Amino acid sequence: MKILLCCNAGMSSSILVKKIQDAAVKNGEDIEVKAVANSAIKNEVGKWDVCLVGPQLMFAVNSIKTQLNIPVGAIEPRTYAMADGDAAIKFAKKLLG
């Protein structure tokens, strides 16, 4: 699974990227994950299976979904604040169905 994380500047989500990578290794899952700023989202079209959006960009979910044409959802604030990699992976899987 290929997960794109999107936040305002692409920096705060880098902590969550590391935690998702750690959780994937721990659980033996093949997951690629990257964080980008909302302003760079257009450069990511066609590269990802799902996009998780930081809570601070909750208002932009529909716009991002239109641009990427993949499942997109805002990460629950607690998951984001606690950098809960396992919960983020679970949410990504839920979005994919």
Domain that holds residue 77: 2-96
Catalytic residue list contains 7 = yes
Please give the Cα distance from 6 to 67 (Å, whole number): 13
Closest CA to 72 of 84, 58, 85: 58
Catalytic pick among 7, 31, 64, 88: 7
- State the pLDDT at residue 13: 85
- State the pLDDT at residue 29: 97
Q: What is the number of domains present in the chain?
A: 1
The reported pTM is: 0.94
CATH number of the domain where residue 9 is located: 3.40.50.2300
- State the pLDDT at residue 9: 75
Which residues of the chain register pLDDT less than 50? none
Q: Which helix (H) or strand (E) holds 26?
A: helix 13-27
- State the pLDDT at residue 17: 95
